[in-house]
Structure 1
Amino acid sequence: MSTTTKTSWLNSYSTTLGNDEVFNPNNEVKGYWKKLFSGFDKLGENGLSGRQKDIDWLLLENGVTYNVYNDPQGMHRPWNLNVVPLIMHQNEWQNVEAGLKQRAELLNLVLKDVYSERRLIKDGIIPHEVIYGHRGFLRQCSGIEYTTEKLLSIYAADLARGTDGRLWVVNDRTEAPSGMGYALENRSTTSRTLPEMYSKMNVSRLSVFFRDFHQMLIDSSPIKRDNPNIVILTPGSHNETYFEHAFMASFLGYPLVQGNDLVVRDGFLWMKSLQGLKRIDVVLRRVDDAFSDPLELREDSHLGVAGLLDVVRRKNVSVINPVGSGVIENPGLIPFMPAIARYFLNEELILPQIASWWCGQEKEKNYVLNNLSNLVIKRIDRTNRESIYFGKFLSLAELDSLKEKIKERPYRFVAQEQINFSTAPNLLGSTLTPRNVVTRAFSIASGNHYSVMPGGLVRVAPDSKTVRVSNQRGGTSKDFWVVENQPVKEDKNRNWEQKSSIAISGLDDLPSLTAENLFWAGRYVGRTLVNARFIRTVMRQLAMAQNMDTKPDSVKLQVLLKAVTHLTGTYPGFSEKAKEGKPAMENPYEEMLSVIRDKDRVGSLAHTIGMFSNSYYSIRNLWSSDMWRVFENIQKLWQNFQDEENPSILKILKVLNQLITRLIAFMGLIEESIMVQQGLLLYFIGLQLEQSMLAITKCRSLLAVKYDTQVEYDLLEYLLTSHESLNIYRYSYRSHIQLEHVLDLVILDVEYARSLTFMIKRLQKDIARLPHSRKDQQLTNYQKYVFSAFSKLRLSESSKLCLTKTKNDVVREDLDTLLEELSDLLYKTSQSLTGTYFNHTDRQTQMFTQSFPI
């Protein structure tokens, strides 16, 4: 295919497939593509490649990811967006939009009928096996009446341009359609990267669609009020589209919850928060149907809410989309859609469909069996994602095996024509190359009709030979521009109108799992920082011993190494209880390397960083962009360090310095991202608690035993150094380092922010702001423990803590006893807080077992 245009990018772009988005049926370049390529010509090769690099950088900086299961690159794969958008003119899109509205309405009527009168089956429009043989049909949902005007609130269709030049419907998505958030992120990134072309091309804006989406959720509330309580239910941070769940929660301002955050009481759905139970009106569901209610559906599910369906029956909550909607995500319905359109609407389908044959009919089954090598075979449900067979790629033995499966249960299979969908230009390096594209378009209920996103999520095949276009299989994405003839007006006010004022969210809007993750986020970041600083101090001493070519057998170094084991909990480590094999003390570098880099060793720095990463990723909807950037820098730094073989001590020290600096920056940004009463309070409590407990362990390891004067002096200096308190000690006391002064500064000082007394005082103040702390005049157990710890510190005197019982004793018993008691009190505080606010053990089970095949 060629063209006479003078546009240089077009001169270098060609396709032999005969069906490309750039060209019309006469092999002429469409006008709006000429306009885009003209803009690319102004950028030049380096300019366009530079814009692609800008996109890659923005997505990485914003932490846009797609979770790919068992991916060797790691689970959180960066989202790939190509700089070249897919373009369609408004004149063509209007017909597509009308077809999507019609199809959404049809599937809405099918869904209503399937779970109520079932007229389609009674009147012979569709065979009963298409519905009852589909694993998505849930008899528990039969007869449920809903409060929303449209039962199907969100509908997505996968579209591709067929050989006739029209867009065809390839798949329907109704259960919990994903991609809306990615489409919005694609638009945000592309419009920032190609601002001049975005404005000149008159691209339709997405803001009206998302305003309608927001209003749809509000209107879905069973109790009609301006500001219902809405949550987004996610399976968790390991779900493939978790980024989108977090992104939409942040974009819409709704709590992101998991199943354990919600509970059914007295026929209503409630969210567990620190303040107590808060009634929920609307659930935007991203959990699969069968996993939504372990009481009535899959008992082994930990993702849903026990009793959810009963609350829906009582019309006390709206679930979007309703549980059971996966049954119409059914390619077995495609052959019957023309008849369904005539039956319900007396209309013909506006959008053509891919030719399909349901094998439950004898004639169609025989056709499929006789033409298997030319067809694509699917199950009528998507429960097993790998059960898609491309006949032309199967061996004779595989074809025979598939024939037997179809003959055994023909109603479970549907065959579709295998065709080459259209291609579109994709920038690869400095070359525009055609790649197959599939577009996911979105419709939402808006009153008594449907509203369609002007655009959608475009997925691109990773190479020219790939038949299936899928993100799980390495595909990339594009922004989808629906262009108009007239300039598009910018939204002057992007804020959605509210009919009444909204109170600032607080602890009662904080889901319990989010609160727990914030608490542990504080603990893990505190643990990572304290351990990294102390390990850095120890590694410096090992480096000095290595430089002096001496054995690390000095008393002070042995004390430091044992302190590493106590601080990290990596027993037996350097402790005296190590008996099997060579004691770690004989090869301290090897043991320290394990303590630093072994991610499978509980307590190691690598393991702690992994826990830190998991806790923060689980609450990423609360983050600012700057937080994510620093977080990603920490991940890259540590991953590069883990990949390095046999790092030197100097290399380790360099990495620890960079890690500590980035952790401090990250901690500073946390306080800018979340308000105290929106969850930052939990982070502060976790941080102060962890740092206090580690400070106790460190002081007890280094100070409880009396050593020779020089050794003790060095240990005091190491303590101050690892505590980042050496300079302030010198400024405050202007003398040689003395134990009494160190105890005053590090343990007993009421004003010094790093002292144990100050941190426990801060902890005492923060936990007093928790809901249960304010209910009555009596102290909670956790308040009592912290109050007791603070009192013990205030009653202590450094001069007495320095002493031993007799001159011959080596243990400072008063100091050791105080630190032991403080450690026990803080441990009890942690247990009490967890039991009071983070207890998720309440679980309801079925009286009998039901089978839900995977």
Structure 2
Amino acid sequence: MKTITKTLFENYFSASSRYDELLTPKMSIKDNWKVLSQNLVKIGPENLVLKQKEINWLLAENGVTYNVYNDPKGLNRPWDLNVVPYIVHQNEWKDVEKGIQQRAEILNLVLKDLYGKRDLFKNGIIPPEAIYAHSGFLRPCDQILYKNAKQLSIYAADLARGPDGRMWVVNDRTQAPSGMGYALENRFSTSKICPELYKNINVSQPSQFFNDFNKLLLNAANTNVKSPMIVILTPGPHNETYFEHAYLSSFLGYPLVKGNDLVVRHGKVWLKSLKGLKQVDVILRRVDDSFMDPLELREDSYLGVAGLLEAVRLQNVTILNPIGSGILENPALIPFMENICKYFLDEELRLPQIASWWCGQDKERQHVLEDLKSFVVKRIDRSKREHIYFCEFLDKKELDNLKAEILEYPHKFVAQEKISFSTAPNFVNNQLEPRKISCRTFAIANANGYSIMPGGLVRVATEREELFVSNQRGGTSKDFWIVNDTPQTNLQNYSWNKTNSSPSTNINDVPSNTAENLFWSGRYIGRALVTARYLRMVLSQMTHAQYNHRKSESESLKILFQSITKITSTFPGFITENEEVLNNPLSEIKDIILDETKIGSFAQSMQSFSNSYYALRNLWSRDMWRVFDGIQKHLKNLKKEEDFTVNKLTNFFDKIITRLIAFMALTEESILVRQGLLLYFIGLQLEIGAMNIEKFRAMLIVNYDEELEYEVLESLLSSHESLNIYRYSYNSYLSLENVLNLIILDKEYSRSLTYQMHRLKKDIYKLPKTNNSEELTICQQNINAVISKMDRLNLKDMLVIDDNSNMRKNLDDVLSDLSDLLHNTSLSISDTYFNHSQAQKQLVNRNITS
């Protein structure tokens, strides 16, 4: 045991920082951490390595990601959770809770005052310049009245251990605080993979907090409706915390929408659903203030809803947190918080905060400039992620430039004292290492004040000596434990009464943006599957050609190569006079597989599918994430190959096609029709039908000699997964007549074009009508035209060969007409159910920058 302990804690005791969460100043383990330390020792370094790998695997399987801007590793970086949790005892946490409740109440009163009477200005508590110089103060929000007793409904405090050993407030988060979903996922993952850590430790669970969160949303509606319509507004899948938006949507059971899913009509907010408009009562927003309304705020925003502020003024919708609450994140408020607290509550601040000096005051500015190197300097407005100046690391020229800027614009700067975060144990390289940490916890408004999450989100510095703690800098995370001396009951009960809520229960209620992404997910995966199957067939024929030097074999390969270009529309491709392309076909095929910039390529189809997929991540099951992750890994591994061979590419498609089919099957069993599965099916059938038509046109129009035609027909049936069915159905030599009868006309064969079009018609007829008229929709009229065309097909006419061109022109004309009709059907679906009105513009250009 001593050997294991020494191995696990090697170098930890001798590398203590100024304040360590695990160790006392005498280098002994603190009482709060003793049981956990014993559990870690019992598990041992080797098993901890395995546990960490299992956590990493689980997070990847569940699709837990954090988007790091401009990350060379890609947009969706896997979430990094360390196996060792962070511990705070309940006795200490009680004081922290009271401090956060007090701070949330103070900021709530500040928010009301700044957009109301502004007594804080009138009584000299806050200088007006400290507020008006910050872009977070939104003048269009002035004097808006709210029904809710507390305007600040959700508050998050960034905490760190200060030099006195107490928890200090580092930052206030009030616009759209992130982290709740990640904190919950951290708890689920840690408890599932490493239950041994909990032995003899009583950990408080956040179930009551999330029950309070759900009640907050249900009770926030301005109207007295029994079933308020609640939505979660997201900027979209490229936002850094989009996983959390989708996670909370799935966890709480409320629709995830983007700005173009909503519209304001007659002073009310409406959700654009497949059926039409449905009034929205509550919006939980994850979009920043200034982007919420392009009419009154940023006119270039595509993330918000034009006219939203007017609906708020009329009290027809509740937004949590209210637009304009970002002003509370202004660090210029920190130096005045003590006086604000005394003014509103006649109390002292319970939680200490970083000593700060606003440079807009003469005495404070002079104090800062006299010893600038000792401070950390920030602009009060960091809406554009402006640089933070750690002055101790600046050279003389940089210090002089900063001084000059402070003197020119003193009201724009705040200086803060340097504090060193405490360290906590992180499992790295088979042992524990001290790493700097900060944590974020959350407050939710309730009838009596604020509920505080027992724990929260812990962020850990990437390196041992790293000063910064940030997810954008690649930091890791920890589960945050509040430990008790008494056993906990109902540890993870997250079932709440949703009888007063109104989640989407009918396909009519599916948000149009969700429906559109489902439609295009179907189209892209259909395109990817048809492309993969066809390329695999061609690669197989290339392998066969190595052992067969017949003339027809060479001619059929040339036809197949050219058909790749026609089917995928990756022109010029093999439709070229360049002999080098035909002499080295593997190079062109490799580009069609891997080049994401080539429109129509397999990689481009998968990239487009991935975009739609991430936009719908709240709908996908865990099994779907596993299959999708497998597809992505195979693509990445293939890109790393230096030597591309026919066999390697064929093996790649064998694996990919299996996973694509598995994903399609999982989609059908994981998503309800009322959630929009119907749109996915329609998109899938449309795309497969359209690509099959192009395949038929590429391979069946030209009249070849008997031997060559046989090989082309065999290749076509093979790519269509219909060769065995043909042999079973037609006990005869391959003939064009029988092939056309099977893959185009057969009403009972699921891969035939006729069968697919009739199924497509059934699904389109299930789409809701946007009005109550009995007349056919344009979508129905277009698919009826397709079916009418199919029903009039005459096999003999399609077989006729034009003497002048040696082509089956009738067949080409029919297929061309069907292609156009399918295209019109797709456009009519988009026009009817997905397209939105043009963005409204401000009459006056408003510059919100200071």
Band of TM-score, shorter chain:
over 0.9
Query: Is the deviation greater in 648-657 or in 773-782?
Result: 773-782
What's the CA shift string for 1:793-835, capped at 9, x where partnerless?
A: 22323344223255x7621222222111111110110111111
**1:713 matches 2:710:** yes
SS of the equivalent of 1:200 reads coil
The corresponding residue for 1:828 is 824
Q: For residue 644 of structure 1, what is the aligned residue in structure 2?
A: 641
Flag the 1:352–1:500 CA change in 2: closer, same or farther, 3 A.
Answer: closer
**2-structure distance, mates of 1:199, 1:154:** 33
- Whether the aligned pair in 2 keeps the contact of 1:377 and 1:389 (CA below 8 Å) is yes
Q: Secondary structure at the match of 1:328?
A: helix
| Residue type at the aligned position of 2:12 | Y
Superposition deviation, residue 338 in structure 1: 0.7
Partners of 2:376 and 2:491 lie apart in 1 by 45
Q: 1:387 to 1:217 in 2, by over 3 A?
A: same
Aligned: 1:564 with 2:564:
yes
Shift of 1:159: 0.3
Q: Equivalent residue of 1:283, what SS?
A: strand
1:609 paired to 2:606: yes
* Aligned equivalent of 2:750, options 746, 753, 761: 753
**Counterparts of 2:321 and 2:493 in 1: how far apart (Å)?**
29
Offset, 1:643: 2.3
Query: Are residue 374 (structure 1) and residue 374 (structure 2) matched?
Result: yes
- What SS does the corresponding residue of 1:768 show, helix, strand or coil? helix
The whole-number CA distance in structure 2 between the counterparts of 1:107 and 1:7 is 48
Q: Which residue of 1 aligns with 2:846?
A: 850
Compared with structure 1, are the counterparts of its residues 51 and 21 closer, same or farther at alpha carbon in structure 2 (3 Å cutoff)? same
What's 2:236 paired with? 236
- 1:502–1:602 Cα change, 3 Å: closer
- Secondary structure of the 2:766 match is coil
Partner of 1:218: 218
Contact conserved, 2:342 with 2:348, CA < 8 A, in 1? yes
- Tell me, yes or no, if the aligned pair for 2:10 and 2:432 is still in contact at 8 Å: no
What secondary structure sits across from 2:146 in the alignment? coil
- Alpha-carbon distance in 2 for matches of 1:497, 1:335: 43
Matches for 1:377-526 after TM superposition, within 5 Å = 377-491=377-491, 494-499=494-499, 505-526=505-526
Q: Relative to 1, partners in 2 of residues 1:601 and 1:333: Cα closer, same or farther, differing over 3 Å?
A: same
Name 2:761's counterpart in structure 1. Answer: 764
Instruction: Look up the SS of the partner of 1:436 in the other structure.
Output: strand
Aligned to 1:797: 794
Q: 1:237 aligns to what SS in structure 2?
A: coil
SS of the counterpart of 2:618? Answer: helix
Matched, 1:55 2:55: yes
The answer (yes or no) to whether the contact 1:8–1:41 under 8 Å persists in 2 is no
CA distance in 1, matches of 2:132, 2:504: 47
- Kept in 2, the 8 Å contact 1:773–1:779? The answer is no
2:633 equivalent to 1:658: no
CA contact (8 A) 2:521 2:609 kept: yes
CA distance in 1 between counterparts of 2:582 and 2:682 reads 36
Cα RMSD (Å): 2.0
CA offsets per residue over residues 280-303 of structure 1, 9 Å max, x none? 001111111111100000001111
Give the equivalent residue in structure 2 for 1:527. 527
Q: CA deviation at 1:504?
A: 6.1
Query: How far apart in 1 are the matches of 2:680 and 2:305?
Result: 27
1:813 equivalent in structure 2: 809
Aligned CA distance change for structure 1 residues 16 and 678 (closer, same or farther; 3 Å): closer
Match of 2:728, SS? helix
- Sort the Cα spacing of 1:551 and 1:21 in 2 relative to 1 into closer, same or farther, 3 A: farther
- Tell me the CA shift for residue 30 of structure 1: 1.9
Give per-residue Cα distances to partners, 1:48-89, cap 9 Å, x unaligned: 111111111111111111101111111111110000000011
- Choose which of 733, 736, 751 in structure 2 pairs with 1:736: 733
Gaps of 5+ in 2: none
Query: Match of 2:656, as an amino acid?
Result: L
669-678 or 733-742: bigger deviation: 733-742
Partner of 1:111 in structure 2? 111
2:270 maps to amino acid: W
8 Å Cα contact 2:9/2:431 also seen in 1: no
Judging changes above 3 Å, is the alpha-carbon distance between structure 1 residues 626 and 492 closer, same or farther for their aligned structure 2 residues?
closer
Q: Could you tell me how far 1:101 is from its partner in structure 2?
A: 0.2
Letter in 1 for 2:633: K
**Matched ranges for 1:148-167 at <5 A:** 148-167=148-167
Secondary structure (helix, strand or coil) at the match of 1:312 reads helix
Report if aligned partners of 2:106, 2:344 keep a CA contact under 8 Å in 1. Answer: yes
SS at match of 1:621: coil
Structure 1 position 789, deviation (Å): 1.6
Q: Could you say what secondary structure the match of 1:125 adopts?
A: coil
For 1:330, the aligned partner's letter is N
SS of 2:384 mapped into structure 1: coil
Q: d(CA) in 2 for partners of 1:184 and 1:501? A: 22
Stretch deviating more after TM superposition (506-515 or 479-488): 506-515
Alignment partners' CA distance in 2, 1:159 and 1:13: 24
What is the rounded CA distance, in whole Å, between the counterparts of 2:712 and 2:250 in structure 1?
A: 48
Structure 2 residue aligned with 1:321: 321
What percent of counterpart residues are identical? 55
The correspondence of residues 51-450 of structure 1 with structure 2, limited to 5 A, is 51-198=51-198, 200-450=200-450
Count residues with an aligned counterpart.
848
**Whole-angstrom CA distance in 2 between matches of 1:541 and 1:643:** 25
Does the residue aligned with 1:757 lie in a helix, a strand or coil?
helix
CA-to-aligned-CA distance 1:676-698 (integer Å, 9 cap, x gap): 12100000000000011111111
* CA offset digits 1:686-733 (Å, max 9, x no partner): 000001111111111111111100111111111110011111111122
How far 1:547 moved relative to its partner? 5.4
Distance 1:317 1:501 in 2: 15
CA distance 1:202–1:738, shift in 2 (3 Å): same
Conserved 8 A contact 1:161-1:421? yes
User: Which moved further from structure 2: 27-36 or 232-241?
Assistant: 27-36
- Structure 1 residues 522-531 or 497-506, which shifts more? 497-506
Tell me the secondary structure at the aligned position of residue 497 of structure 1. coil
Q: Against the structure 1 CA distance between its residues 552 and 162, is the aligned structure 2 distance closer, same or farther, given a 3 Å change threshold?
A: farther
Work out whether residues 152 and 325 of structure 2, in 8 Å CA contact, stay in contact via their aligned partners in 1.
yes
Answer yes or no: is the 8 Å Cα contact 1:435–1:460 preserved in 2: yes
1:785 equivalent among 777, 782, 790: 782
> Separation in 1 of the partners of 2:749 and 2:219?
53
In the TM superposition, 1:558-637 aligns within 5 A as: 558-575=558-575, 578=576, 582=579, 584-637=581-634
Check the 8 A contact 2:211/2:496 in 1, yes or no. yes
Letter matched to residue 822 of structure 2: L
Q: Is residue 696 of structure 1 aligned with residue 683 of structure 2? A: no
Greater shift, 549-558 or 360-369, is seen at 549-558
User: Aligned partners of 1:199 and 1:749: how far apart in 2?
Assistant: 64
For residue 552 of structure 1, report the CA deviation from its aligned partner.
10
**Aligned-pair distance for 1:532?**
0.8
Letter in 2 for 1:331: P
Name the aligned partner's letter for residue 399 of structure 2.
L
Q: Which runs of 5+ in 1 are unaligned?
A: none
SS in 2 for 1:666: helix
Q: Is the 8 A contact 1:9 1:37 kept in 2?
A: no
My pick for the range that moved more, 489-498 or 146-155, is: 489-498
